[in-house]
Amino acid sequence: MKKLYSTPEYKKRNTKRAKDRLKQQLLSKEKAKAKRRATDGVPIAVQRERRVISKFESLPAPPNFSFVENTVAVLAYLERIQDKIKQRIPILINLKDITNLTNDAIVLLLAIVKNPTITNGVPIKGNYPRDEELRKIFQESGVFGANGNDGEHKNYILTRQNKKAEGGIANELIKRATLIVFGQEARCPGVYRALMESMANTCYHAKPAQIGHETWWLTVYHERALNKVSFAFIDMGVGIFKSSKMSGFRNQLSTFFGITDNRDVLKEIINGRKMSSTKIPYRGKGLPNIYKGLERNYYSNLKIISNDVKADLSADKFEKLSKEFSGTFLYWELNNTNRWTS
């Protein structure tokens, strides 16, 4: 055995083994130093948070995080979130690199991350945008935690969730909105009706078994720089064109007029031309009344997104979406050119 230790081959292997071990030890020490440098001065609580987040799958949001402007991309992003939830994978909603944000995208996130039926116990975390203005909007929204809605004289997002029409909430929102836009609390009957009709339509756009259980979400963003208030409303039912109460009306439109495209169906719904002349028994008055509010200048920039249709009613533009939205979304703005009463 002594002879084996003295052979050139053994000495060569032993020398190489020693060099490899030394190299590994040096690398391990360097990694440990790098780790200490990375956490040097970082509070223990932050270090723990980083370790927790490292276990979540990061899902970067589209840079233009606006449902009204970048509809299909935002829908694809929300679909990715829900796919991961179904796979029970903890996710990080990564908003660091977004460059544009509108409050309509926030209400969509709220409808998902605050709904236990959708999240089903899967851990969800989120971070804020690097951009300071966008970060402030998210912090005020309360999507990921503390809500900054205290105080009436600052930019904020007021969010509500409910299962029925709430006149008290509508009046409070209008008081706050008019104080910003007109400099005093005022009455806006058109905005009040739009809010009440939107809330009531949550039941209309639900499946029969879901009526009374569907919730609506609403964000109201006061944008002082442009002296306007934007309202974004959503219900996560089946959408306008797939609701049980709409199916018969769509079938009759198809039978009488050959209308099968949902863009044309929505046009007929909001203006009521065919309904009044043919006596088709359609009883939904919510969307026509909301459209009348736009025509009477109670608000501006009215948009509707539901199923495969995106409508900009202010521009009379109806677009067919390549990706469907299972729900109903309404958006409008109040500015100092709109009608109001003291």
Which tens digit of pLDDT belongs to each residue from 1-14?
A: 555 566 777 777 77
In a shared domain, residues 56 and 184: no
Q: Which of 142, 167, 195 is the last residue of a domain?
A: 142
Domain count for the chain:
2
Residue 270 has pLDDT above 90, yes or no: no
Same domain, 127 and 272: no
Please tell me the predicted confidence (pLDDT) of residue 40. Answer: 67
- Name the one residue in this structure whose structure tokens are 């449902």: 67
What range defines the domain where residue 57 resides? 49-142
Whether residue 1 is contained in a domain is answered as no
Q: Is residue 42, in this structure, part of any structural domain at all?
A: no
What are the residues whose beta carbons fall under 8 Å from the beta carbon of 48, sequence distance 6 or more?
Answer: none
Asked if residue 157 belongs to a domain, the reply is: yes
Model pLDDT, residue 128: 87
126 bridge partner residues: 93
pLDDT of residue 294: 96
Q: What is the CATH number of the domain that holds 174?
A: 3.30.565.10
pLDDT at residue number 249: 62
Same domain, residue pair 158 and 305? yes
Q: Are residues 153 and 135 in the same domain?
A: no
168 domain-assigned: yes
Mean pLDDT, all residues of the chain: 79
Per-residue pLDDT, 323: 93
Burial 155-167 (b: 16+ CB within 10 A, else e): ebbbbbeeeebbe
- pLDDT band with cut points at 50, 70 and 90 for residue 211: very low
Looking at the structure, do residues 74 and 132 belong to the same domain, yes or no?
yes
In a domain, 138, yes or no: yes
Kindly report the pTM of this predicted structure: 0.76
- Per-residue model confidence (pLDDT) at position 295: 94
User: Which one of 82, 111, 142 terminates a domain?
Assistant: 142
| Domain annotation covers residue 255 | yes
Residues 300-321 have pLDDT tens digits of: 999 999 999 999 999 999 999 9
- 211 and 286 together in one domain: yes
More confident residue, 32 or 170: 170
Residue that terminates a domain, selected from 96, 123, 142: 142
Over residues 169-198, mean pLDDT: 90
Q: What average pLDDT does this structure show over 93-114?
A: 88
Residue of 126, 78, 133 lying closest to 101 (CA atoms): 133
239 lies in the same domain as 157: yes
Within this chain, do residues 192 and 79 fall inside the same structural domain, yes or no?
A: no
User: Does residue 143 register a pLDDT over 70?
Assistant: no
Residue 294 within a domain: yes
pLDDT tens for each residue of 319-336: 999 999 988 999 999 999
